[in-house]
Structure 1
Amino acid sequence: MNEELSARLRTAAEAHQPDRARILARLERGMSGAPDRHRESSGARPWPRVALASLAAAGILAGGGFAVAAIVQSPPARPDNSGTPAAPSAPSAPWTPPHTTPPAPTTGGPSAPDRSSSTSPSPEVSGGTVSARPDSAHVQDGPLWSAGSLDASSNTYWAQSDITLKTTQPLTALTVELRITQTGAVQSTGHWRTLPADDFTVTVQPEGAAVVYRWTLKPGRTVPAGQHVFAGQYNHAAGRREAKHDGYRVDATGPRGALSVWGGFTPAR
């Protein structure tokens, strides 16, 4: 079946109105081999030719009907193995995983420190010596209690820092440290304590950015139960001096073992 016949059959199938008379005329002319002007003037035609033309027309119409149906209704043929590459299909869209919320972190790691705890951190160690820490107070340890304050006699040129100790049990060892931050022209002018002077060794010296007073109970001496005061006196630059960076620390030994307290200073009233 050539391309012209396929096109005509397709057109005929779409029109759904085949011209049977025209097809019969074309077949008759083809079988007679003569043009239209040489046709016989008589309306009679030999019977064999008419019968043969009718059968041929019926066969062509039937075959054409099947061909048109095959052309119109048949699905596209699958590619064969003749070597002709098939047309590439359109690429499918890449698969995208659905959005999911990442799981919450587990709680197996280290937890944040509990800031509701009332336990104060221990004071820092500076140069091998445990130093006072005004920013973290620990004023009581068993029978030993402490407090720091500025004496009421302090003024714009001079000040006195007092450490008050209370113990309900005798102490067989005691070291009291007073640390005055160097805020400008800080210089010691003296010191005192309510306990006997002969019971203590006293040193006053600069250590880093502070002037440090240290009272150490001599071996074989005892601090009795009761309230005791240790004081350091010093000059400073003119004006109101802030004592928020000053601090104290007390290390002692009682009947039940070692004791330690530390803290800062409250302003004078």
Structure 2
Amino acid sequence: MDEAQLRRELREAGLAHRPDRARMLARVERGLAAPPQQASLRARATAPWTGRRWTVAAAVAVAVAGVVGVGGLAVTTLDRGPAAPASQPPAPGPVAEATGTLDPGSNRWWAQGDLTVTTRTPVAGLVVDVRVARTAGVVSTGHWRTRPAEDFTVTVTEEPGALLYRWTLKPGRTVPPGRHVFAVQYNHAEGVRDASADTYTVVLTGGDGGRSTLRGGFGATAPAR
């Protein structure tokens, strides 16, 4: 038997070994209670082996000791690698508030919705959506904002149930703290228009990537003039 095979068999024997603690304790107790002469005979009977048999027995004992821990319990260590870093909480978004109102200049055929966004901290990214419900006769007639026109990309899209006005802040532009107005204009059927289904959504992004979202509406009815 070569050394590699011997080591493999010793390792397998060590892993398979399950000491009988009760039996071992009983043997110790009997040894302590035996008369001196009998204990001497037993000691001679269990003298160390010689030659290769002693080498094998000692190697098995070492292998078993490596597998069995204190109290006869097998100990296994699982290496899971370095601990994963704790996830960082998201950065807070810009502090802001928004209010939707119907402009007092609206009349029986035409209306303007004013969305006022008040920012308390600088804004690095901004998307403003205003949806005007497609009630009778609603047709877009324009839009404007108090921020510079070149800072935004503006689109008006006809959706199945609404006109969507969207302002998107261009990359590299910013919005400073202050009061900013985004207005939508449209014709509608003659009379008092119900604006309860008109809504807005404002998504603001800070310089550190934090994001905040504002949502709301424009009230119940447009002024009749």
Q: TM-score, normalised by structure 1?
A: 0.46
Q: 1:215 aligns with which of 164, 167, 178?
A: 167
Q: Does 1:178 align with 2:130?
A: yes
Q: Which amino acid aligns with 1:264?
A: G
- What do residues 73-100 of structure 1 show as CA deviations (whole Å, max 9, x unaligned)? xxxxxxxxxxxxxxxxxxxxxxxxxxxx
The answer to whether the 8 Å contact 1:170/1:223 transfers is: yes
> How many angstroms does 1:208 deviate by?
1.6
Question: 1:122-161 residue pairs with structure 2 within 5 A?
Answer: 143-161=95-113
Match of 1:164 in 2: 116
The one-letter amino acid of 2:213's match is S
The one-letter amino acid paired with 2:147 is L
TM-score by length of 2: 0.55
Amino acid at match of 1:259: S
Distance 1:171-1:161 versus aligned 2 partners, 3 A rule: same
Q: Which has the higher helix share?
A: 2
How far does residue 143 in structure 1 lie from its aligned partner after superposition? Answer: 1.1
Residues 223-260 of structure 1, C-alpha deviation per residue, up to 9 Å, x if partnerless? Answer: 01100000000000111000001100000102450010
Q: Equivalences for 1:47-62 in 2 at 5 Å?
A: none
* Equivalent position SS for 1:198: helix
What residue in structure 2 maps to residue 259 of structure 1?
A: 212
Equivalent residues in 2 for 1:51-90, closer than 5 Å:
none
Counterparts of 1:207 and 1:201, CA distance in 2: 19
Distance 2:130 2:101 in 1: 11
Within the candidate set 243, 251, 265, 2:195 is matched to 243
Which runs of 5 or more residues in structure 1 are unaligned?
A: 1-140
Q: Name the structure 2 match of 1:191.
A: 143
Higher relative contact order (CA 8 A, sep 6+): 2
Note the 1:18-33 alignment, pairs <5 A: none
- In structure 2, the partner of 1:224 is 176
Q: C-alpha separation between the residues in 2 aligned to 1:245 and 1:203?
A: 20
**Aligned-partner residue type, residue 204 of structure 1:** V
Q: Shift of residue 142 of structure 1?
A: 5.9
Distance 2:195 2:128 in 1: 18
1:201–1:218 contact (8 Å) kept in structure 2: yes
Amino acid corresponding to residue 145 of structure 2 in structure 1? R
Using the TM superposition, give the Cα deviation of residue 191 of structure 1 relative to its aligned residue in structure 2, in angstroms.
0.3
Q: Per-residue deviation at 1:268?
A: 5.8
Distance in 2 between residues matched to 1:179 and 1:236, nearest whole Å: 14
- Structure 2: how far apart are the matches of 1:179 and 1:149? 13
Q: Distance in 1 between matches of 2:204 and 2:222?
A: 27
Q: Secondary structure at the match of 2:150?
A: helix
Larger radius of gyration: 1
Percent of residue pairs bearing the same amino acid type? 53
